[in-house]
Structure 1
Amino acid sequence: MNLPSRFLSTRRTALCLAAAAACFSTGAALAQTKTLYIGMNGGTMEKTYTENVFGAFEKANNVKVVVVPGTSSDILAKAQANKDNPQMHVMFLDDGIMYRAIGMGLCEKMQPSQALNDLYPTARFKGDMAAGVNVGMTGIAYNKKMFAEKGWPAPTSWMDMANPKFKGKVVFQSLSSSTFGLHGFLLFNRIQGGTDKNVEPGFKAWATTIGPNVVEYIPSSAKIAEMVQTGEAAMFPLTPTAVGVLKEKGLPVEYVQPKEGSAVLTVGECVIAKNSEPALAHKLAQYLLSPEAQAAALEHGNQIPSNSRTKATGASAALVAQMNQYMKTATTVDWDTINENRPAWNARWNKTVER
């Protein structure tokens, strides 16, 4: 059938208009989906948040949350390198490194919210420049299999690491690169009569106490799993959460709360200053402090909640109850003093301990 050219022209115009409208509609939908980048530890934490926590926020806000994985030191370095043109919107950092980030002007003040008000006091950073997303403490972890085979009783004190029977079996994280190592050293220093402002007793006593028993100083805790499996590691500073991760992998490790106490370790979050999506970034930060988000992180990743209203049941409730018991003898460290003196401590540690 031969159609009039005028009809064909009209039909072609209609098709073109329909195609253009479809393209415009698709483009508009794509434009509405924004991406937020969040720096945090990789591995278990990244998997927990990506698979079980971010989804509800993404759906409610038509946004994609992408993790930039790395240690706290890695994330801080990236944020500092891009200070004037941030590539991330929110970052998770261990508390000590978070205080450094705040001092560098990398964080915006948290916006007021109910979730912020419901945090445990230890999770509120000075001036609300950051807030804790989970809480924990650095104590002692030990190789349960090795202790059983040797007939050794479970450790109870930081000074057990100085017992000659553990010569070549203690693993210690580097003071210069690990919060676990720094915490362990500072608590040892307190036992020796020092304070966070005076570490002379700790440095003086190290070489004749714990030092001779250390088989290796490691930059982070990533190598601990391997050293437990090979029988190289008997004891090491670690958190209950990190111990839980190792146990889930089938490793024979246990956590103990030293009689002298542990050091509070909070993973904080902050909204990065000058980021490209400040409103959305603050909205994400508030969501991650909510009882709903923290309940999911607890259930799927053993992330101990910082929000006092977070509900927990079953095994998760038991874990929280145990952590609350540990918290009774957990102490805080003076991060202002530490960050002021840490470069000098690092240099001394690298020269006299890890030489």
Structure 2
Amino acid sequence: MSKHHAKFSLTALTAGALLLAAGCAHADTKTLYIGMNGGNMERVYTQFVFPPFEKANNVKVVVVPGTSTDILAKAQATKGHAQMHIMTLDDGVMYRAIKMGLCEKLQPSSSLSQIPAVARMKDDYAVGLGMGLTGLSYSTKIFADKGWAPPTSWADLANPKYKGKVVVESMPSSSFGLDAFLMFNRIKGGSEKNVEPGFKAWPTTVGPNVTEYIPNSSKVIEMMQQGDAAIFPYTFTQTELMKSKGIPIGFVAPKEGAVVLMTAQCVLAGNPDDALAQKLAAYLISPQAQALGMIHGSFNPVNPDTPLTGAAAEQQDRMKAVLNKAVVLDWDAINADRAGWDKRWNREIER
């Protein structure tokens, strides 16, 4: 064999061995699927929160993006043979998922033991991932141009001076729209068990002010920057994030209380790799993961042991101050007739 031929054969063998090794390494890498909001949440978790877990466990975490109702529908369609390992849902939707038997109990872990009772749901069948608040956000530019004082109450959505400048997310697809409706319903004398006052009053009070009912929040900032949205139900977390990007926006906790809006996670029953799914769920509520979510995406932690400094710590302190007066809705009452409310909303409010 010539030297050149021997060298070529050796090179080919080496290349083949490297390809084989790479193939084995790739084969050993497992994939975990997590249902989660797309957009900013998917970006932050994929870029910053998942990588330490992926590296430590030789796995790839892939987001299945969608709204809470989208993710719930996917989980329902594969009940008993789940294709996703974990799903994150708004707290109200998570209560429905637990009742449907889609979640399995979280295994005890050091991080779970750090989470306060308010963020542990239904005997640990789900746990909070991020703590949020729905209040009223407003365009500080439009308000300054008009000489308007910041809003102070959920009732301000009905103030005639905001005609054509209110944007609300649809109740069937959004917690923000539901929260606003239920707080307005309370002002009108109703409760989660009696929504007649809200349905009676909204079409002639808030309704005329609404320029558009939108399916999700991704459009609202664009509408605000175009001058079409001056005031809208929105979260403290997203407002802080937009403000940090230089967008002229403010957040108000109405005097009746902002509404606790927790993003929760659960391990899906019958998922393909339960041990790893439970491990990921425990990691996501650990101080390390919670800090990464807060620093890079303003996702306020549910774990009180999360180490924060500087601007992130200041934002968390502002959140805690609002939380002290926040309202927790009666989700059992809401979910008992949510489908009926959604139909009424479409028929009587968004007609």
TM-score computed with the length of structure 2 as normaliser: 0.93
Match of 1:236 in 2: 232
**Aligned with 2:198: secondary structure?**
helix
Equivalent pair of 1:263/1:332 in contact (CA under 8 Å): yes
Match of 1:198 among 164, 178, 194: 194
**Aligned equivalents of 2:132, 2:319: Cα separation in 1:** 7
Match of 1:144 among 137, 140, 159: 140
> 1:9-45 deviations in whole A, cap 9, x for unaligned?
xxx9x99999997776544423321111111111111
1:118 aligns with 2:114: yes
CA-CA distance at 1:248 after TM superposition: 3.9
1:285 aligns with 2:261: no
Aligned CA distance change for structure 1 residues 16 and 243 (closer, same or farther; 3 Å)? closer
**Aligned equivalents of 1:35, 1:262: Cα separation in 2:** 38
Match of 1:295 in 2: 291
Q: Which amino acid aligns with 2:57?
A: N
Runs of 4+ more than 6 Å apart: 14-24
Match of 1:253 in 2: 249
Match of 2:102 among 102, 106, 110: 106
CA-CA distance at 1:278 after TM superposition: 0.4
Larger Rg: 1
Q: Which amino acid aligns with 1:184?
A: A
> 1:197-255 deviations in whole A, cap 9, x for unaligned?
11111111212321221111111111101210111111100111111233244321110
Match of 1:210 among 206, 221, 234: 206
Match of 1:274 in 2: 270
Match of 2:182 among 177, 183, 186: 186
Match of 1:5 in 2: none
Equivalent pair of 1:35/1:65 in contact (CA under 8 Å): yes
Equivalent pair of 1:123/1:306 in contact (CA under 8 Å): yes
Match of 1:43 among 35, 39, 42: 39
Q: Which amino acid aligns with 1:254?
A: G
Aligned length: 347
**Aligned equivalents of 1:341, 1:25: Cα separation in 2:** 56
**Aligned equivalents of 2:244, 2:35: Cα separation in 1:** 24
**Aligned equivalents of 2:13, 2:224: Cα separation in 1:** 67
Uncovered stretches (5+) of structure 1, i.e. residues with no partner: 3-7
**Aligned equivalents of 1:20, 1:207: Cα separation in 2:** 70
Residues 296-305 or 328-337, more deviating? 328-337
Uncovered stretches (5+) of structure 2, i.e. residues with no partner: none
Aligned CA distance change for structure 1 residues 24 and 171 (closer, same or farther; 3 Å)? closer
**Aligned equivalents of 1:333, 1:158: Cα separation in 2:** 15
Match of 2:166 in 1: 170
Identity of aligned residues (%): 58
**Aligned equivalents of 2:214, 2:301: Cα separation in 1:** 28
Aligned CA distance change for structure 1 residues 22 and 338 (closer, same or farther; 3 Å)? same
Match of 1:340 among 318, 333, 336: 336
> 1:238-276 deviations in whole A, cap 9, x for unaligned?
111111233244321110110110110000001111111
**Aligned equivalents of 2:329, 2:62: Cα separation in 1:** 32
Equivalent pair of 1:36/1:64 in contact (CA under 8 Å): yes
Q: Which amino acid aligns with 1:82?
A: T
Match of 2:53 among 50, 57, 64: 57
Equivalent pair of 1:228/1:251 in contact (CA under 8 Å): no
1:262 aligns with 2:258: yes
**Aligned with 2:173: secondary structure?**
coil
Aligned CA distance change for structure 1 residues 167 and 60 (closer, same or farther; 3 Å)? same
> 1:77-116 deviations in whole A, cap 9, x for unaligned?
1111222332211111111111111122111111111211
Match of 1:306 among 276, 288, 302: 302
CA-CA distance at 1:312 after TM superposition: 0.8
Equivalent pair of 2:238/2:298 in contact (CA under 8 Å): no
**Aligned equivalents of 2:146, 2:296: Cα separation in 1:** 35
Match of 2:127 among 131, 135, 141: 131
Match of 2:77 in 1: 81
TM-score computed with the length of structure 1 as normaliser: 0.92
1:224 aligns with 2:183: no
> 1:49-74 deviations in whole A, cap 9, x for unaligned?
11111111111111111111111111
